[in-house]
Amino acid sequence: MGRLRIVTDITAAADVCFDLSRSIDLHLESMAASGERAVAGVTSGLISAGEHVTWEARHLGRRWTVTSRIIDFDRPRRFVDQMDAGGPFRRFRHEHRFEPTDTGTRVTDVVDFRTRAGPFTPLADLAAGAYLKRLVTLRNATIRSRAEAR
């Protein structure tokens, strides 16, 4: 199984970073290059505990449909989204942590995943990990930009 841990320091309050991280609209803005769309569930605004969103996007040369649900929610400290169905993953769980610091907030993303690639799963997990790291880093740069502009 693949695991990513990405730490981003943002000069803004934890509640601001938390809400921007669960914003469907900001997510769509950060993923514009993949043509990502929210097509079911919560399709705009802020997603909350127990709610789901279904995304359509083009990644790695293929169109995917993925449904994720918020399975844990402790504002403004932490929330977890987990894939319910679809996509290239057998398992996908994304924990978002928000820790106040002297200068703002430390955002830590922990992503656990496993691809559906049969005997090629270990290699596919490596490639997916590199791709996911770029996506999360891009998304966090958008969150930082918006949070620090407030």
Confidence of residue 51 (pLDDT cuts 50, 70, 90): very high
Q: Is 28 helix (H, G, I), strand (E, B) or coil?
A: helix
pLDDT in tens, 81-138: 999 988 889 999 999 999 999 999 999 999 999 998 888 889 999 999 999 999 999 9
What six digits make up the tokens of 22?
Answer: 């669960």
Confidence of residue 61 (pLDDT cuts 50, 70, 90): confident
Q: What are phi and psi of 90, to 5 degrees?
A: -80, -35
In the predicted structure, residue 60 carries a pLDDT above the cut 80: no
- Domains delineated in the chain: 2-149 (3.30.530.20)
Confidence of residue 30 (pLDDT cuts 50, 70, 90): very high
Q: What are phi and psi of 65, to 5 degrees?
A: -125, 125
> Residue 50 and residue 130: Cα distance in Å, rounded?
29
Output the pTM of the full model: 0.94
Q: Which amino acid, residue 29?
A: E
